[in-house]
């Protein structure tokens, strides 16, 4: 019975691996036309012309990387800050309730975040944030141009809101798992509350925090719906963060239905393949960090 069970679970585990391999293979097989036509330069060219069937994915790669990076930049300090507050400062019942609510936030479908983006965040961006940035930082190419409301920065902000729960939930947990003795060791040296956090808690929890950040990054890279709704879907790279852009996931979602030629379809699937590879790597790193942390708490 036990052996049967072991064999079964082993087979299931293999099946999962086989599934991942199969996905990779199918993505590869269904994008060969694009690979033949454009080679590696597919990843470095900006052109996106379905009429002439001339394709390059750089706009989407750029859009994906820049929105995810910006989202992390916004979400990491907030997420960790909230986690510190919940783990260390908030009264226990409040911490529990907040943690529960924050976990719920992570479960909201992304199309809802997209709607909130369109109806709440875009107007605020258009009327307040973007004009402010243009006025005060407009001398930088990053903050030039008309205030559309939508755009890379808006997409990054929506993404940031979506990934804060991931960072906060895991960071809170690893902070709470810091042994009391470590905190007391810092306190006994005359550390203030904040110094205890800085000296004994954050370093102790750092690999868990890094894991949560990579997990959040993986989520941000692959996020489709919410981003598609607010990024503006422009196939040109512009220096300004206020300008509309595009991401890999968004172009797939938008254009797959209208891809009328085989090459066009293969091109989109190659974008999917690139996204698949990037997210697998990022998530792999996250799992490695988080996994290692569990087996090797400091002696």
Of 153 and 213, which has the nearer Cβ to other proteins?
A: 213
Q: How far is the CB of 195 from other proteins (least distance, A)?
A: 6
How many whole angstroms separate alpha carbon 235 and alpha carbon 214? 27
How many whole angstroms separate alpha carbon 61 and alpha carbon 44? 9
Chain residues in the site for other proteins (CB under 8 A) = 181-182, 184-192, 195, 199-200, 203-204, 206, 298-299
Q: How far is the CB of 211 from other proteins (least distance, A)?
A: 15
Of 16 and 295, which has the nearer Cβ to other proteins?
A: 295
If phi > 0 it is left, if psi is from -120 to 50 it is alpha, else beta; for residue 102 that is alpha
Which among 162, 161, 151, 160 has a CA at the least distance from the CA of 129? 151
Q: Calculate the CA 257 to chain-centre distance.
A: 25
Of 39 and 93, which has the nearer Cβ to other proteins?
A: 93
How many whole angstroms separate alpha carbon 110 and alpha carbon 225? 6
Going by C-beta distance under 8 Å and a sequence separation of 6 or more, which residues neighbour residue 162? 71, 110, 113, 219, 220, 223, 226
Q: Residues 39, 44, 48, 51: is their CA dihedral positive or negative?
A: negative
Of 52 and 181, which has the nearer Cβ to other proteins?
A: 181
Of 126 and 183, which has the nearer Cβ to other proteins?
A: 183
Which among 219, 194, 205 has a CA at the least distance from the CA of 283? 219
Of 16 and 299, which has the nearer Cβ to other proteins?
A: 299
Of 95 and 283, which has the nearer Cβ to other proteins?
A: 95
3 state SS of 49: strand
Of 38 and 204, which has the nearer Cβ to other proteins?
A: 204
Q: How far is the CB of 85 from other proteins (least distance, A)?
A: 17
Q: How far is the CB of 161 from other proteins (least distance, A)?
A: 31
Which among 159, 164, 145 has a CA at the least distance from the CA of 63? 159
Q: How far is the CB of 156 from other proteins (least distance, A)?
A: 31
φ, ψ for residue 88, nearest 5 deg: -115, -35
Q: Calculate the CA 82 to chain-centre distance.
A: 18
Q: How far is the CB of 72 from other proteins (least distance, A)?
A: 22
Under a CB-based contact definition with an 8 Å cutoff, are residues 217 and 282 in contact? yes
């Amino acid at each position: 019975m036990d052996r049967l069970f072991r064999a079964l679970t082993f087979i299931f585990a293999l099946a999962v691996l086989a599934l991942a391999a199969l996905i990779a293979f199918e993505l590869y097989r269904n994008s060969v036309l694009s690979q033949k036509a454009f080679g590696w330069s597919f990843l470095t060219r900006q052109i996106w012309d379905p009429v002439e069937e001339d394709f390059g994915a750089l706009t989407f790669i750029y859009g994906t990387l820049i929105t995810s990076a910006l989202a992390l930049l916004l979400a990491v300090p907030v997420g960790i800050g909230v986690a510190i507050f919940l783990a260390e400062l908030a009264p226990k019942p409040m911490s529990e309730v907040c943690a529960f609510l924050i976990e719920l936030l992570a479960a909201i479908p992304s199309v809802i975040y997209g709607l909130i983006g369109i109806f709440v965040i875009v107007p605020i961006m258009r009327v307040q944030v973007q004009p402010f940035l243009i006025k005060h930082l407009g001398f930088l190419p990053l903050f030039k141009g008309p205030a559309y409301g939508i755009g890379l920065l808006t997409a990054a902000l929506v993404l940031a809101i979506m990934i804060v729960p991931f960072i906060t939930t895991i960071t809170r947990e690893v902070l709470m798992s810091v042994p009391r003795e470590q905190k007391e060791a810092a306190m006994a040296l005359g550390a203030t509350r904040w110094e205890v956090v800085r000296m004994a808690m954050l370093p102790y929890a750092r690999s868990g925090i890094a894991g949560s950040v990579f997990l959040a990054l993986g989520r941000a890279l692959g996020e489709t719906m919410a981003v598609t709704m607010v990024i503006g879907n422009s196939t040109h790279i512009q220096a300004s963060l206020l300008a509309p852009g595009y991401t890999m996931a968004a172009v797939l979602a938008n254009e797959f239905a209208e891809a009328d030629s085989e090459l066009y379809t293969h091109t989109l699937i190659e974008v999917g393949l690139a996204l698949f590879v990037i997210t697998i790597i990022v998530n792999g790193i996250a799992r490695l960090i988080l996994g290692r942390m569990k087996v090797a708490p400091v002696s």
